A and B are shown apart, each in its own frame.
Chain A
């Protein structure tokens, strides 16, 4: 290959190529992100229209008559506030439980030596491959025996343990240098104080990631609430939404209001912790 000399003309051409590439990137990303956002924007627009205006004025994002009342109307048609509180409760206790049980188990797997450790850990890893539908039916039967059907505990209890979370935290704990703990041992700290005073503060990013994942999964879960809950006052948001769709004979404007409402907390959480979400996903690689 001939040696290239950088002439002013060649430099210009290369700069132009770089500029062209940037323009293409903006075009692709701009159009792509519009495709991602527009459905949400149109849902919000539809949620503010009257039922007939959705049909007569479909293109405009801005309604002719602003029906802010739709957002009150939804609460009259279905007990939306109950759905919110139920989902919040289930999510909160699942996140809290998962963080505690996974953190102590991960510490045990990563830092403590005991007979059978590797075998038990392999069993944990193996279950990561099992689709959760496999455990659905026996868990349902178990909850029936325990008398916990149509009780939020039937979602909270299984939600408090995560083989995946244990794996994730273990990987992170392994990266914390042993010297830090050794200093604490010399100071006479026991296992629990080393865990709570040294490991936990250092593991905040990993713990936050696990919390975000657990929150997203529980907040958005549909299959398990659909199976385990049946009375109206126990419904979660996703369950309430899907039943609301079946109840009314498709009032699209109200349905879009309900869908928009249900998204507000997640989107708010996402936007306020965006850096973390994205880095957390990149760090751990997957959901669930």
Chain B
């Protein structure tokens, strides 16, 4: 070591420091990502050797009604939950970005659902939504409106799940918005005030452009997360009733670990990856129109 040049020594140290993480990265990211692609071109139940079948898994998927339904459900979930959660959390962040007593209490309250496991939360909401014993239906019956079927009805199961997901994600997005709002210089508001701007104009001309990078960030991450919805639907409805809340990730799980169709499940996983990739690219490209850095 001592006889080597400083640059070579630094490179050696660099590789040495990187090694533990790089091994994990190769074994648990690179190998699985490529492996998944390879598996998706095979018919494999793990008991007999894999059989290469080309793009047949993908062809079968095109004619699989359940796949199309779960794809639709996943879009339905994302298209509703992402804008709702972002809109509500922005409004709350604006209210929280004032000098207000009890700010720590409010932050903690809004953030509480975000830290709790989705499984526990889904259990609590499953009870609240329960047809016979659930509190929500008790209240509805009391005011002569219920009982309402909520998660037992194919039409209302997904909206119920979306409500719970939005409820859970508001806190996280709110805190990110709050950080964005606190980065807006106070002089900008003062300048707008001198120009005689009302609250709406101030929001539209100052706040909105200034938090647009935050909005963009929150939109992309929320979208990526929402396409991976699994825990809340599995626990609350188990995909039902009549597959009304079955999602892409649940379908991956079912095919891989209940029917042992590893190739088919990997195909769905890759389609999910493709969708996330395309949406992220589309959002990044379109963001040039509305994000101001």
Contact = CB atoms under 8 A, between A and B. Distances in A.
Given A59-B138, A220-B117, A256-B127, A136 B133 contact: no
B224 A191 contact: no
B277 A135 contact: no
Nearest to B262: A137
Contact of A135 (B33, B119, B196, B280): B33
Given A113-B7, A263-B116, A271-B108, A134 B21 contact: no
Nearest to A227: B257
Give the interface size bracket for A toward B. Answer: 35 or more
Contacts of A22: 98, 100
Interface stretch (A31-39, A70-78, A203-211): A31-39
Interface in B1-31: 7, 10-15, 17-18, 20-22, 24-25, 27-31
Given A33-B105, A108-B18, A140-B256, A287 B116 contact: no
A186 interface: no
A117 B14 contact: yes
Nearest to A34: B109
Given A29-B95, A133-B269, A282-B176, A108 B14 contact: yes
A137 B266 contact: yes
A129 B278 CA distance: 11
B72 interface: no
A1 to B, nearest CB: 6
A52 to B, nearest CB: 10
Contacts of A262: 117, 119-120
Given A115-B11, A222-B119, A262-B117, A129 B256 contact: no
A202 interface: no
Which secondary structure characterizes the binding site on chain B? helix
A130 B273 contact: yes
A25 interface: yes
A32 B272 contact: no
A123 B34 CA distance: 13
B228 A278 contact: no
Nearest to B29: A127
Interface in B84-109: 91-92, 95-96, 98, 100, 104-109
A28 B115 contact: no
A103 to B, nearest CB: 9
Contact of B35 (A102, A108, A138, A223): A138
A79 B265 CA distance: 33
A35 B88 CA distance: 13
A55 B28 contact: no
A9 to B, nearest CB: 18
Interface string A178-219: 000000000000111001000000000000000000001001
Contacts, number: 281
Given A28-B92, A138-B35, A191-B13, A278 B119 contact: no
B233 to A, nearest CB: 11
Contacts of A141: 35, 39, 46, 262
B51 interface: no
A137 B252 CA distance: 9
Interface stretch (B58-66, B75-83, B148-156, B167-175): B167-175
B116 A163 contact: no
A104 B21 CA distance: 8
B127 A120 contact: no
A134 B133 contact: no
A195 B10 CA distance: 13
Contacts of A29: 92, 95-96, 100, 106
9 contacts: A108-B14, A120-B18, A123-B30, A131-B276, A138-B31, A163-B25, A220-B116, A242-B235, A262-B117
Closest 6 CB pairs of A and B: A161-B24, A282-B179, A138-B35, A33-B109, A114-B14, A105-B21
